[in-house]
Amino acid sequence: RGVLYHELVHAYQFEPKGIGSYSTNKTFWACIEGLADAVRAQAGYFDMSTRKPGGNWMDGYRTTGFFIQWLTTKDPDAIRKFHETVRDLDVWSFDKAIKRMFGEDASIEGLWNEYQAFLSK
């Protein structure tokens, strides 16, 4: 079921604009696969105890997905809002998405560091 959730997200998700394609840009790839795994995590199809500190938000799949899902602790609607940034930003990036969601003072690095501290507790 978890794989099905992940793959169904791909059927409906927007693609980041202005940064190349899935096969030519790591940011594009990390966004696509991370968002699909975030939905899978939010639906309860990952063992959340497998989250661990380390890596980078650009690692894709579970690493990125768990981070995007964790953003729901800041805003319960964060996954949907993240997806809307993919639709709405003309040149997409993780930092631009975070700023759109949480304000100009927010940054991808700052929230990633906060997430890492959360995982280390």
52 vs 1: CA distance, rounded Å: 23
Predicted TM-score of the model (pTM): 0.97
91-119: per-residue pLDDT in tens? Answer: 999 999 999 999 999 999 999 999 999 99
Average pLDDT, the chain: 97
Residues of the chain with pLDDT under 50: none
What are the structural domain ranges in the chain?
Answer: 2-120
Query: Considering only CA atoms, which of 56, 65, 68, 66 is closest in space to residue 101?
Result: 68
